[in-house]
């Protein structure tokens, strides 16, 4: 099976891009969202002066659980992925079962950050979208879907989103096999075609054994 890691800043269009790739891959596809792996309780070191937490830092994520789930999927085992409530900023008690498939699309802001995950990944992509577009997309999403106020989204962007992107997110481009711009249709088609080709070669190899 193949793990495809798709990385990019908040508002870069990772979920949309992932969905485009999923629709064009011929074999069964599973999707794992890194957003589901926020820690139930963030470390006190990530608490800001205003009482809020820095959710854009690598330490906000449950790396042990995430690594374990990706390793299990790679071995062909199902996992119970957590679910996260962004309105309450808390992990839900219920989970969703992710079944192993021939292709796992793993998307998130730090999907290329951890060396172990990079080694598990067969293809890596980074979505590079200009900051103003990412901010506007995030603004609409957080206000309309997550019940945030306009002021809170703007404050969070300047206090954590922007500086964390510059410090931790943007450097992940160095680990990407290819970089995708704002127009993702062609890139999604190319990535899906590559996956389909790899699967075709694998089937041919298995038939010749």
Q: Which of 182, 164, 54, 186 is nearest to 109 (CA)?
A: 164
Confidence of residue 202 (pLDDT cuts 50, 70, 90): confident
165: left (phi over 0), alpha (psi -120 to 50) or beta: alpha
Q: Note the pLDDT of residue 57.
A: 97
Please list, in sequence order, all residues whose beta carbon lies within 8 angstroms of the beta carbon of residue 31, skipping any fewer than 6 positions away: 18, 22, 98, 104, 105, 106, 107
Please provide residue 133's backbone torsions phi and psi, each rounded to the nearest 5 degrees.
-70, -45
Q: Which tens digits make up the pLDDT trace of 54-80? A: 999 999 999 999 999 999 999 999 999
d(CA 85, CA 206): 43
In the chain, at which residue ranges do the beta strands (DSSP E only) sit? 2-8, 29-33, 79-85, 90-98, 103-108, 123-127, 178-180
Are the C-beta atoms of 7 and 14 separated by less than 8 Å?
Answer: yes
What Cα–Cα distance (Å) separates residue 64 from each residue in 43, 71, 72, 169? 15, 11, 12, 20
Q: Note the pLDDT of residue 77.
A: 95
The CATH label, of 3.50.50.60, 3.40.50.720, 3.40.50.300, 1.20.140.10, for the domain at 2-204 is 3.40.50.300
Please list, in sequence order, all residues whose beta carbon lies within 8 angstroms of the beta carbon of residue 155, skipping any fewer than 6 positions away: 50
Q: Which of 129, 123, 133, 130 is nearest to 178 (CA)?
A: 123
Average pLDDT over all residues of the chain: 92
Q: Which tens digits make up the pLDDT trace of 101-141? A: 989 999 999 999 999 999 999 999 999 999 899 999 989 98
């Amino acid at each position: 099976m193949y793990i495809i890691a798709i990385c990019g800043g908040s508002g870069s269009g990772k979920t949309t891009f992932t969905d485009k790739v999923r629709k064009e891959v011929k074999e069964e596809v599973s999707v794992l969202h890194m957003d589901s792996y926020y820690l139930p309780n963030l470390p006190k070191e990530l608490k800001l002066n205003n009482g809020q937490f820095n959710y854009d830092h690598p330490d906000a994520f449950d790396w042990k659980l995430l690594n374990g789930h990706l390793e299990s999927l790679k071995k062909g085992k199902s996992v119970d992925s957590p679910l996260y409530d962004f309105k309450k900023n808390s992990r839900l008690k219920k989970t969703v079962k992710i079944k192993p498939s021939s292709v796992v699309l793993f998307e998130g802001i730090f999907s290329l950050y951890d060396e172990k995950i990079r080694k598990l990944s067969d293809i890596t992509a980074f979505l590079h979208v200009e900051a103003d577009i990412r901010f506007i997309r995030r603004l609409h999403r957080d206000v309309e879907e997550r019940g945030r106020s306009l002021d809170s989204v703007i404050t969070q962007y300047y206090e954590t989103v922007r500086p964390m992107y510059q410090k931790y997110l943007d450097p992940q481009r160095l680990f990407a096999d290819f970089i995708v711009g704002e127009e993702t249709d062609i890139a999604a088609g190319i990535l899906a075609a590559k996956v389909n080709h790899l699967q075709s070669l694998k089937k041919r190899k298995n038939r010749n054994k």
